[in-house]
Amino acid sequence: MASPIIGVLINGLFGSFIQKKLGEKVVGVIGSATIGLSFICAILIFSNMLGQPDDQRRHVYDIYDWISTGGLTVGVSYLVDQISIVMLLVVTGVSFFIHIYSIGYMQGDRGVFRFFAYLNLFVFAMLNLVLADNYLLMFLGWEGVGLCSYLLIGFWYDKKFEGVGITWTGDAGMKAFIVNRIGDFAFLIGMFLVFADFGSFNFDTVFGAAASRFTTGDAAVTWIAVLFFIGATGKSAQIPLYIWLPDAMAGPTPVSALIHAATMVTAGVYMIARSAVLYALAPTAMLIVAIVGAVTAIYAASMGLVQNDIKKVLAYSTISQLGYMFLAVGVGAFGAGLFHLMTHAFFKALLFLGAGAIIHALHEEQDLRNMGGLKTFMPGTYKTFLLASLAISGIPPLAGFFSKDEILSYAFASSPVLWVIGAITAFLTAFYIFRLFIMTFEGKPRFDVHHLHVHDARATMLVPLWVLGVLSVVGGWIGIPSVLGGGENFDKFLEPAFENAQAKMSSVFFTDASTEYMLMIVSVLLCIGGIYLAYAAYRKRPELSAKLRRSVGDFYEILLNKYYIDEIFQAIVVRPLVFVSDRYLRRGLDEIVIDGTVNGVGRIVGFFGKILRRVQTGFVQNYALIFVIGIIIIIGFLIYAH
């Protein structure tokens, strides 16, 4: 836990010196080693936890009292239980490999030390977020990761980046930060409501008292849950606050992999899973979560279909997969949501890192239309990317299949409509990811083969790819559903943590084995269909893709322009805001009212000064006379007052 912050201090304070004197490798090694240490600690804690009986797996470590006033005590205390250990392993593990990858990826950059300092700071904040035992400390981590996200998106601050209302990468970082602020605001209000109702931010206190304080469906608890969810939509890029994530791709690719795919964006899911008890008491809020999740999943997937920037496709894919997770927690399958969170962290980080390797090899080329045929040039990347693509599409027995399928079966049990949306999304996912895959690796090269010496990345980048590749394959095996002969170990492990929440939920999940088989077969068929369609349209008969494009007509344009959402936001939110700020707030309020007040005070003082300065004649005798008069008055007062 403390080790990343040591990395921050070393790299942040002395990084520039170390890079100059000892070389950038040392910086990277320090950065990675500190995270590696955390990872090892996490594994030790985890194995320790496995040795304990179910009901003793929850530990709270008080570090010190952070705030202590009157009725409010907020401690820096860390809660280690089944939920946070899963997050801990995912965060430290994935970040460790991404750190190693970054040593290779960032080689030659003049800001390597800055990069690793930010990255370590991010991990520190993220660990705070997942380990906090109260909402306030969680919020600290929540804001911390937002800050690091901002810093890292705009890492190459002098680089141009195109977007609606965006010209520099710094603008993209700003956009991410501001959009996140909107969500954070709701989260804050939710926290205030929690405090107003419970007088505490502590998870134990709040969740312990929740059941007796509220009855199911109370307005107060619904509001809290909805506000928290709005906070989550900001951080986890759900409708309507998802708009920052595609532009966040302006940052270096390892950042996209770590922050904008594997860890930070899943914070919202974690937060809702953590607050499961509150959500269990607010069925309306859960319905909203489920619907927003499902709609986001299909909506983002549809935009991913036509993007030509390799990272943008992956960004929309991330939004879509996060939608799945929210769908899962929204229907009450908290375990399934976290399961998908974990598998997604593996394969999406792998996809991003693979994309990073490709972008690196092609000298910062991100356009899919200028790739192709990389299979022979980059065999290592090709193989790992294929694994990740199959995993995300949901082909058994890879990780994505189990987690996605669990979510879909819960969704089906909750409402067939949600299942249909989820299944269509699965089809779209398979299609867009294989469109990406085929346009990148298959066919003839569409770049300058003779001038670019394209080859696989060096070992520091390739090893993490393989590790994540293996995890993308086996990561799902810990949660094989019982109908397939598995033990559902993952869900069983998490069960005690969600016991209280599940007890309060009215719905009971029950799908018999035959339904479950059927659901699986349908989703696998849909995935294969999606893959085949992508193969047919982009590999076998390229003219088919053009035909496909024509048949949907204007819709293609709409998708390509992301439903014009950015433009709409620009028109209805940003411009009026800028206009009002400039016309009324700056020229009206600031220049007339505020400046007027300040200048007015100055003028009044000057006015009186002009009158009063006549008192100062410069004749010392006048002053002495005033002394004497004063003394006489005082003496007279002393004598006659008594």
Asked if 635 interacts with another protein (CB under 8 A), we say no
Closest distance between another protein and the C-beta of residue 632, in Å?
10
Beta-carbon-side half-sphere exposure of residue 349 (alpha carbons within 13 Å): 36
Does residue number 489 form part of the binding site for another protein (CB under 8 A)? no
Using DSSP, state whether 69 is helix, strand or coil.
strand
Give the pair of three-digit tokens for residue 603: 């003028």
Question: Least distance in Å: CB of 635 to another protein?
Answer: 12
Q: Which is nearer to another protein, 550 or 613 (CB)?
A: 613
Phi and psi at 553, nearest 5°, equal 60, -125
Neighbours of 555 (CB within 10 A): 12
- Pick between residue 599 and residue 617 the one whose CB is nearest to another protein: 617
One residue of 64, 510, 619, 640 binding another protein per CB under 8 A: 619
638 binds another protein (CB under 8 A): no
In angstroms, the CA 412 to CA 516 distance is: 9
Q: Does 621 bind another protein (CB under 8 A)?
A: yes
Say whether residue 606 binds another protein (CB under 8 A): no
Size of the residue set binding another protein (CB under 8 A) = 10
* Phi, psi for residue 74 in degrees, rounded to 5: -120, 120
Q: Is 628 in the site for another protein (CB under 8 A)?
A: yes
d(CA 422, CA 333): 14
Q: Does 625 bind another protein (CB under 8 A)?
A: yes
Our CA angle for 141, 464, 243, nearest 5°, is: 45
End-to-end CA distance of the chain: 73
Q: How far apart are CA 230 and CA 219, in angstroms?
A: 16
List 77's β-bridge partners, or say none. Answer: 62
Site string for another protein, 557-596 (x = CB under 8 A): ----------------------------------------
CB atoms within 10 A of CB 606: 9
Least Å from the CB of residue 615 to another protein: 10
State the nearest-atom distance from the C-beta of 614 to another protein, in Å: 9
Q: Does 611 bind another protein (CB under 8 A)?
A: no
The distance from CA 247 to its chain's CA centroid, rounded to whole angstroms, is 13
The C-alpha atoms of residue 105 and residue 98 are separated, in whole angstroms, by 10
Residue 448: how many other CB atoms lie within 10 Å? 11
Interaction between residue 605 and another protein (CB under 8 A): no
Q: Which residue is listed with tokens 């993209």? A: 172
Closer residue to another protein (CB): 453 or 610:
610
- Of 384, 266, 394, 255, give the one whose Cα is nearest residue 318: 266
Q: Shortest approach of another protein to residue 629 CB, angstroms?
A: 10
- In this structure, are residues 122 and 145 in contact, taking their beta carbons and an 8 Å threshold? yes
Which position among 108, 444, 618, 640 is part of the footprint of another protein (CB under 8 A)? 618
Q: Which is nearer to another protein, 47 or 621 (CB)?
A: 621
By beta-carbon proximity to another protein, the closer residue of 21 and 610 is 610
> Whole-number minimum distance, CB 609 to another protein, in Å?
9
From 611, 620, 638, 641, residue interacting with another protein (rule: CB under 8 A): 620
Six-digit token string for 280 = 């269990």
Q: Considering only 143-151, 386-394, 501-509, 622-630, which stretch makes contact with another protein by CB under 8 A?
A: 622-630
Q: Does 639 bind another protein (CB under 8 A)?
A: no
Give backbone dihedrals phi and psi of 51, rounded to 5 degrees, phi first: -75, -10
Does position 634 bind another protein by CB under 8 A? no
- Min dist. Cβ of residue 639 to another protein (A): 14
Alpha-carbon Rg for the chain, nearest whole angstrom, is: 29
Q: Which of 48, 167, 376, 617 is in the footprint of another protein by CB under 8 A?
A: 617
| Only segment of 120-128, 219-227, 282-290, 612-620 that touches another protein (CB under 8 A) | 612-620
Q: Answer yes or no: are the C-beta atoms of 334 and 273 closer than 8 Å.
A: yes
CB of 177 to another protein, least distance (A): 53
Which H or E run includes 119? helix 112-131
Instruction: Pick the stretch among 128-136, 179-187, 550-558, 611-619 that binds another protein (CB under 8 A).
Output: 611-619
Residues at the interface with another protein (CB under 8 A): 613, 616-621, 624-625, 628
